[in-house]
Amino acid sequence: MYPQPEFPRLNSVKFLWLLLLPAVLGADSAPKVSSIDYYGLRKIPANRIQKIVGVSAGDPLPPSKGDLEDRLEKIPGVVLARVQVVCCEGGGGMLFVGIEEKSAPHLALRSAPAGAATLPAAIVESYRELVQAVEAAARRGSTAEDLTQGHPLAADPDARAIEQNFVDFTAHHLAQIREVLRNSADEEQRSMAATLIGYAPDKKAVVNDLEYAMQDPDEDVRASAVRALEAIAILAMKKPELDIQISPTWLVEMLNSIVLSDRTEATRALLDLTDSRPEATLAALRERALPSLVEMAQWNSLRHALPAFILLGRVGGIDEQQIQERWARGDRGALVLQVAGSAKKKRR
């Protein structure tokens, strides 16, 4: 397996517009754009979107996320637009601009539930303590975690102790967690439940719950579910005798989402699910998400492009050594053309 680039992992931390740390960017300078990447473009040319965005790498960030999205949605053929800044790279923010075109693949989601189920106050407090512990560990440079048990266990001892308590809590309160995940009207509660249910001792028993949560209308709930499922997928590879079966369907569909975290989290999980190159999963990627992989593999932000590049290579039947060598020498364009051309021939 390839070392995976680090993506933001905190469930309760959203990357808000202009949320760039002064310590990173310099208190006296305006936040800058380090790179710009687009996704969702099928018929509309990138230069049409670029003209509306109006900034290039090195420029200050656009002043208003909402105004920019409104202007993008006025382009004929655009149904939705999403603008997001991810901190930080090269002293600036990575700007991602996504659009959903008419008749393009659409991630169908469930309606929000309206139930009153909630988690116990004590476990909510423990969860928030975990977020604080992980943030503190990250500031110290400690971001490693072990997923081989089928759930995350941080290298940081404070965070790890809280996570180990989740295993015992989930074993005794699975029904309550499941009820919150499926029926609570509070999206924060559902997001917590999606994380907690991944700590259930019987991983096979909760796969269906997490696949259900991947269709939640809230993006944080979906992200929590994918992260939990990713750890279970790693355990399933390590211990095939457990017979844990994870469907790739919703992960593949998430690659067509207008929400950036849907795409990045699903890509991470799909790297694990395609490690042994199951043909059914690769065929689903080829059929349902090839244009998304092609555009993501060519992103300027290399740490976001690499996972999609690896997946694209696997879809094209290119061996791991060649994928790695082509990435190392910057030969992305040739691989993209090769895989896209091969897929077009297979469809004929």
Using the structure block, give the residue that is written with the tokens 């989601």.
109
pLDDT in tens, the chain (348 residues): 444 444 333 333 232 233 333 333 343 456 889 999 999 999 999 999 999 999 999 999 888 899 999 999 999 999 999 999 998 777 789 999 999 999 999 999 999 999 999 999 999 999 999 999 999 998 898 989 999 999 999 999 999 999 999 999 999 999 999 999 999 999 999 999 999 999 999 999 999 999 999 999 999 999 999 999 999 999 999 999 999 999 999 999 999 999 999 999 999 999 999 999 999 999 999 999 999 999 999 999 999 999 999 999 999 999 999 999 999 999 999 999 999 888 766 665
Instruction: Give the C-alpha separation, 147 to 10, whole Å.
Output: 15
Amino acid 348: pLDDT: 56
Residue 343 has what pLDDT?
74
Q: Are 52 and 74 in contact (CB under 8 A)?
A: no
What pTM was computed for the model? Answer: 0.88
Please give the full DSSP string across 63-94, using - where no structure is assigned: S-HHHHHHHHTTSTTEEEEEEEEEEEETTEEE
pLDDT at residue 64, rounded to an integer: 86
Containing 179, the helix (H) or strand (E) segment is helix 157-183
Instruction: Output the six-digit token pair for 110.
Output: 């469930």
CB 33 within 8 A of CB 55: yes
The pLDDT value given to residue 62:
87
Residue 212 CA, chain-centre distance (Å), reads: 16
* DSSP state at residue 242: G
CA dihedral 287, 303, 260, 248 (to 10 degrees): 40
Task: Provide the 8-state DSSP code for 120.
Answer: -
CA 151/CA 170 separation, integer angstroms = 12
- CA 142 from centre of chain: 21
Please give the pLDDT value at position 16. Answer: 29
Residue 69 structure tokens: 């999205």
pLDDT at 89: 74
pLDDT at 92: 84
Domains and their CATH numbers in the chain: 22-101 (3.10.20.310), 108-246 (no CATH)
Cβ-contact 83, 96 below 8 angstroms: yes
The letter for the amino acid at 189 is Q
- Paired sense of beta strands 92-101 and 33-39, if any: parallel
What is the rounded CA–CA span in Å between residue 257 and residue 39? Answer: 9
E-only strand ranges, 113-272: 145-146, 153-154
